[in-house]
């Protein structure tokens, strides 16, 4: 199910293939975030055509709107959205603890109030699997507890124990064949808890393992220390998914530690705010120097935006709040991320991934990409 | 330049071809409104691919943003926007009098304050031609005075005399060959002024004539009385363009009077507000009955939205404020309008336009379309 094709000699980077019932995912992979069924401003066809064969959907959001009964009528989230690729759905854990109006945990599950209409709902690990099976996600995630950035070790350990307990229950709850289930390694920012979490969960025989609770405000140094502890205690022969990360540099560094899968709103959210990734570094489309720029945003880019439109036109559309500008910039930034992933894979294949890693640790990664 | 191919036997409807330097426009024609260079939410390619070979640009908006110096760097608005079709630009008259913070007319021109940054600008008929020549519009419109809905006959006549004077000056100001210039017949809601305007301007030998100042709040009955007086006093061998109109019924009725060209924000603005034109009548996507509708918005529609997505998905995307929903609905409504125009042309060609006209005057036009 997870076939490692090549391991890098000097780092823990690897290229692999993950088989799902709807197709094979090459890793390392970046999954764009399609919260309610499509990446904001794009059509599901555009996402697929940019080379993204797997997209993220959000269980919390989809449960609230349109609701699982609607999705059931279509048989799957894929049928509902018409996205031709594969879909990974997160469990909603992160949203419940960061977005919902309140969240009360007990051993059984978590009670929360919808941020949309204030209605209360109760999620258990079993219910979350059931919802994701109704979405027919290619990859389902367990319900976990996200404790936040600054909590005591006592709370962190209690939350971790709940997450471990829920991991076990999720494994038992799974009923459908073919839909993969990933567990989420947590442990907050405590080294021994990170180790404990990864070690215990590795024994549960899941289809893959995520590393959660990172990139939530901590320094990069702490993030990578925690990540290293998680990754090094997870099974080598299973896919490892770093949730919600990150910058191009973060991705290259995490790949070197042995991470295979990523998702992040960065390319898409930044696009909607006018922040653009280019081969010459990041730029802000609002900068007046692009006002009369006849050339594209990035002369070395082959995306729909850069192949067709001048920076001046994109800036004009952005400054006049034309929706089309968000689509252009989203397509551009996603193309940049896809290109980054292709270069990472290529460099592992060619045995020169270390060069790529060295470059980002000396200079801006943009000069490389 | 304007070749009438067929006249309807029982009404004043006709099909014709209008030649511009960038191509031939078949009439009757509906031109989508691309205020700042593209139709909101769509790419210029999508507009063209939906069959719209001519689009409207807005001189007032483009003058303010990005500014004419920027467009000059690209040689034309077409080059700037990458729209492959032809472009008609309005003169800005309507926006100056309806959108700008204030507008003071004297014989020479009009002083106004930008609604964007409060800066004052002075437009003369000559300056407006110069701007449109910089945009390199296929069809340019004269600067006119829009008096609004409820003014005295004295003011209406004064404004009309200014518009007539500016029409004359616009004709003299035109310098470039190939860019067509249309004059705008006004006259507010006074029958004799409508007649006077059309009659005098007909003598100026313009490339085409617009009817302006209608659909601004008056009843349909008054609108059509005024329109009839304008149209019947304009030359038969020149294109007639009814500005800012309208509903499908309005368009069919106006075609029967001899109008050739239309523009309106209705299909596009309605789309963004969730109002959808279908062969079974108009619908509001917010209606909960579409919540679990597996079929498309309109089973008889062949647009990108209806061919690919369920009404339930479109509603879900709309209710969750996904930008993509606006694009889907805009494409759908424009497809409906394009289809309407094609049916009008076909019925004139086949000699049964009267049937089409009769149907809309007895029942909802939607049942026909």
Dump the DSSP string for A315-330.
Answer: HHHHHTT-HHHHHHHH
| Residues A60, A163 share a domain | yes
* B258 and B118 housed in the same domain: yes
Domain-ending residue, one of B264, B294, B309: B264
- Please indicate, yes or no, if residue A15 is contained in any of the structural domains: no
Q: Are residues B93 and B115 in the same domain?
A: yes
**Closest listed residue to residue A343, CA positions, set A282, A279, A280:** A279
User: A74 to chain B: which residues are within 8 Å by CB?
Assistant: 294, 310, 312
Which pLDDT does position A98 carry in this prediction? 87
Is residue A368 over pLDDT 50?
no
Last residue of a domain, one of B264, B289, B321: B264
| pLDDT tens profile A131-154 | 999 999 999 999 999 988 889 999
Q: How much is the pLDDT for B102?
A: 87
Mean pLDDT value across residues B106-121: 94
What's the pLDDT at A150? 85
pLDDT at B369: 42
How confident is the model over A318-364, as pLDDT tens digits?
A: 999 999 999 999 999 999 999 999 999 999 999 999 999 988 775 44
Does B343 contact A at CB distance below 8 Å?
no
Q: What is the pLDDT of residue A362?
A: 59
> What tens digit of pLDDT does each residue of A159-190 get?
999 999 999 999 999 999 999 999 999 999 99
Decide if A308 and B82 are in contact by the 8 Å CB cutoff: yes
Q: What is the pLDDT of residue A148?
A: 83
Closest CA to A296 of A281, A314, A282, A272: A314
Mean residue pLDDT of chain A comes to 95
- The answer to whether A61 contacts chain B (CB < 8 Å) is yes
CA-nearest residue to B296 within chain A is A80
> How confident is residue A367, by pLDDT bands cut at 50, 70 and 90?
very low
Would the CB atoms of A36 and B317 count as touching at under 8 Å? yes
Please say if the pLDDT value at position B15 is more than 90. yes
Q: Which residues contact B288 (CB under 8 A, 6 or more apart)?
A: none
Q: What is the mean pLDDT of residues A251-264?
A: 97
Read off the pLDDT of residues A53-78 as tens digits, 9 standing for 90 and up: 999 999 999 999 999 999 999 999 99
Residue A3 lies in a domain: no
- Looking at residues A235-246, what average pLDDT do you find? 97
Are A260 and A207 spatial neighbours (Cβ–Cβ below 8 Å)?
Answer: no
Is the domain of A240 the same as that of A281?
Answer: no
| Residue A20 located in a structural domain | no
Q: What DSSP character marks residue B28?
A: S
Is the Cβ–Cβ distance between B239 and B209 less than 8 Å?
yes
Q: Which pair of tokens denotes residue A25?
A: 């995912």
pLDDT at B361: 72
Using the predicted structure, report yes or no on whether residue A366 has a pLDDT greater than 80: no
- Does one domain contain both A281 and A332? yes
Q: List the A120-123 sheet strands across, edge first.
A: A103-105, A110-113, A120-123
pLDDT digits (tens, 9 = 90+) for B210-230: 999 999 999 999 999 999 999
The domain in which residue A342 lies consists of 271-367
pLDDT digits 0-9 by tens, B334-360: 999 999 999 999 999 999 999 999 887
A106-129 pLDDT, tens digit each? 999 999 999 999 999 999 999 999
ipTM metric: 0.95
Q: Quick one: B51 and B161 in the same domain?
A: yes
Q: What is the mean pLDDT of residues B267-285?
A: 96
pLDDT at B180 over 80: yes
Q: Is the pLDDT of residue B365 over 50?
A: no
CA A334 to chain centre: 13
Residue A10 lies in a domain: no
Asked whether the beta carbons of residue A320 and residue B294 sit closer than 8 angstroms, the reply is: no
Of the candidates A40, A294, A310, the beta carbon closest to that of B323 is on: A40
Domain CATH for A76: 3.20.20.105
Is the pLDDT confidence value at B117 over 70? Answer: yes
Q: Which of A69, A316, A326 sits opposite B65 (nearest CB)?
A: A316
Same domain, yes or no: B111 and B96: yes
Predicted confidence (pLDDT) at residue B98 exceeds the cutoff of 90: no
Q: Is residue A191 part of a domain?
A: yes
Min Cα–Cα distance to chain A from B118, Å: 16
Give the integer Cα–Cα distance in Å for B270 and A309: 28
What was the pLDDT predicted at A369?
Answer: 43
Which residue in A has a C-alpha nearest to residue B288's C-alpha?
Answer: A66
Q: Out of B90, B136, B144, B298, which one is annotated catalytic?
A: B90
- Pair A70, A91 in one domain: yes
- pLDDT tier at B364, thresholds 50, 70, 90: very low
Among residues B241, B264, B287, the one where a domain terminates is B264
- Torsion A293-A294-A297-A298 (CA) sign: negative
Do A103 and A83 lie in one domain? The reply is yes
- Whether residues B249 and B297 share a domain: the answer is no
Distance of CA A197 to the CA centre of its chain: 20
Mean pLDDT, residues A280-286 taken together = 95
Best CA proximity match to B315, nearest among B282, B280, B291, B281: B291
pLDDT tier at B290 (50, 70, 90 boundaries)? very high
- Together in a domain, A110 and A196: yes
* Number of domains chain A contains: 2
In a domain, A186, yes or no: yes
| Residue A5 within a domain | no
CB pairs under 8 A between A and B: 100
Question: Which pair of tokens denotes residue A152?
Answer: 């005591």
Interface subset of A 1-60, CB within 8 angstroms of B: 36-38, 40-43, 45
3-state secondary structure of A173: helix
Q: Are residues B70 and B177 in the same domain?
A: yes
Question: Which is it for the CA torsion A169, A172, A177, A181, positive or negative?
Answer: positive
Q: B79 pLDDT exceeds 70?
A: yes
């Amino acid at each position: 199910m997870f076939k490692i094709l090549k391991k890098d000699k000097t780092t823990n980077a690897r290229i692999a293939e993950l088989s799902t019932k709807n197709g094979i995912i090459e890793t390392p992979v970046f999954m764009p975030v399609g919260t309610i069924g499509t990446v904001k401003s794009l059509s599901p066809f555009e996402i697929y055509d940019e080379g993204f064969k797997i997209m993220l959907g959000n269980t919390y959001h989809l449960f609230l709107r349109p609701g699982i009964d609607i999705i059931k009528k279509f048989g799957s989230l894929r049928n509902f959205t018409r996205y031709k690729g594969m879909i990974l759905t997160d469990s909603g854990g992160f949203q419940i603890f960061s977005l919902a109006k309140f969240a009360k945990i007990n051993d059984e599950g978590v009670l929360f109030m919808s941020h949309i209409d204030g209605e209360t709902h109760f999620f258990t690990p079993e219910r979350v699997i059931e919802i994701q099976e109704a979405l027919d996600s290619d990859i389902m995630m367990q319900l976990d507890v996200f404790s936040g950035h600054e909590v005591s070790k006592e709370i962190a350990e209690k939350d971790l124990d709940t997450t471990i307990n829920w991991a076990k229950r999720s494994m038992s709850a799974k009923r459908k064949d073919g839909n993969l289930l990933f567990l989420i390694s947590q442990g907050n920012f405590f080294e021994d808890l990170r180790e404990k979490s990864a070690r215990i969960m590795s024994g549960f025989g899941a289809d893959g393992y995520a590393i959660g609770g990172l990139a939530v405000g901590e320094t990069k140094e702490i993030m990578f220390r925690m990540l290293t502890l998680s990754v090094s205690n997870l099974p080598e022969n299973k896919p490892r998914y770093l949730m919600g990360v990150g910058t191009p540099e973060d991705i290259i560094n995490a790949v070197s530690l042995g991470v295979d899968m990523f998702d992040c709103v960065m390319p898409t959210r930044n696009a909607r705010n006018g922040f653009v990734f280019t081969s010459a570094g990041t730029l802000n489309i609002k900068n007046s120097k692009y006002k009369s720029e006849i050339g594209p945003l990035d002369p070395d880019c082959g995306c729909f935006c850069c192949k067709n439109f001048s920076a001046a036109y994109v800036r004009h559309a952005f400054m006049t709040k034309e929706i089309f500008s968000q689509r252009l910039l989203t397509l551009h930034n996603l193309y940049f991320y896809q290109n980054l992933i292709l270069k990472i894979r290529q460099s592992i294949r060619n045995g020169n991934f270390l060069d790529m890693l060295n470059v980002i640790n000396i200079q801006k990664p943009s000069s490389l990409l």
